[in-house]
Structure 1
Amino acid sequence: MDRKPVDYGRSPASAPTVREADAAQHPEIERLLRAAYAGYAPVVAAEVFPTYLADVLDFAAEGATVLVAVEDGEVVGTARLHLRGADVDLPAGAAYVRGVAVHPGRAGGGIARALMADCAHRARAAGATGLHLHTAPFMTRAIRLYEGLGYRRTPERDTDSAAHYGLAVHPPLRALAYRLDLTRT
């Protein structure tokens, strides 16, 4: 049975351009990340959220490439790709993505999908066999996106984000691990 292409509400001509960010874009990216993650502040322990947000805003993280999605000259999305390791335990040959965010007024328009496709392309080109990420159970829209892109749960790599930051809070802040197999075409 032939499958029709899925219409995500944007024509290819209006798809965002994804590229590496330059340092001059960091203030714009920071504003976007703060706006995109602000909605999570009420559901993350008050002791954890500032540290979590500071981690998401760490553009200088070792081995990270900060990517931006740009439409009409405006940064509308961002992601951070780690090709040479991250501060989480990953298997050999792994790349890691974090800090995926879309401008709140632009959600649902294919921007996150374009960022994730670019991350997968870059990771594959760098020789990675898997692209890993963590997300929180309350990030349901992100979970639907990742699963729709072929990411599969790897519960053995789940973490407690609060403990990861050296904070003791109850209940733990569970981060769900996902992996995209990059060895398939």
Structure 2
Amino acid sequence: MTILIRPAEPTDYEPLGEITARAYLNDGLLAFGDEDDWYFQELKDVAKRAESAEVLVATANDRILGGVTYVPSPGPMADLARPGEAEIRMLAVAHEARGRGVGQALVRACVDRAAATGHDLVLCTQPTMHAAHRLYERLGFTRAPERDWKPIPGNDFTLLTYELTL
């Protein structure tokens, strides 16, 4: 299977939003665990993300397999990025495409974009996302526990931070 990574087009927004939201929901990665979760709706809103970040899609045979939001610098879509850093957000791969290198291709595309601008790269991930952790570490990311954070005030839910110095 040949995977093509390209910028998302408006016609990709709805299917990519569905893939992203379903991936997080089906993997139990939403804080409240259902479609009423505020983050479920956020994950579906690709058009909103595309206004202030670069949304990339992975395709094969004209079928969307997954996507990622690349945040080129601190700004409205950044959770972690500091000056001189870019950020990876909302990486998701369709269930049927997992294990085929789609996630790796999407992360590599973000690494290439960051390297081209001289930025380091950061991302946050949930503690239970072990396959993603292995992918990030394989690509040279290292844990930055001093940057871990709690996105929901008053909740013990913590996101783990990884960084890649380029």
TM-score grouping bracket, smaller chain normalisation: 0.7 to 0.9
Higher relative contact order (CA 8 A, sep 6+): 1
d(CA) in 1 for partners of 2:29 and 2:64?
Answer: 26
| Preserved CA contact (<8 Å) 2:73 2:83 | no
Q: Structure 2: which amino acid aligns with 1:88?
A: D
Aligned pairs for 1:82-121 (under 5 A) are 82-85=71-74, 86-121=77-112
| Larger gyration radius, structure 1 or structure 2 | 1
The question of whether the paired residues in 2 share the 8 Å contact of 1:153 and 1:179 is answered with yes
Distance 1:38 1:64, change over 3 A: same
Aligned residue in 2 for 1:23: 10
Is the alpha carbon distance of 1:42 and 1:122 closer, same or farther for their aligned partners in structure 2, counting shifts above 3 Å? Answer: closer
Pick from 22, 45, 60 the counterpart of residue 71 of structure 1: 60
Q: Which runs of 4+ in 1 moved over 6 A?
A: none
The residue aligned with 2:160 is 176
Aligned residue-pair number: 162
Give the unaligned 5+ runs of structure 1: 1-13
Give the structure-2-normalised TM-score: 0.88
Unaligned stretches of 5+ residues in structure 2: none
Cα shift readout 1:27-57 (whole Å, capped 9, x = no counterpart): 110121122112244773459x712333333
| Identity, % of aligned positions | 30
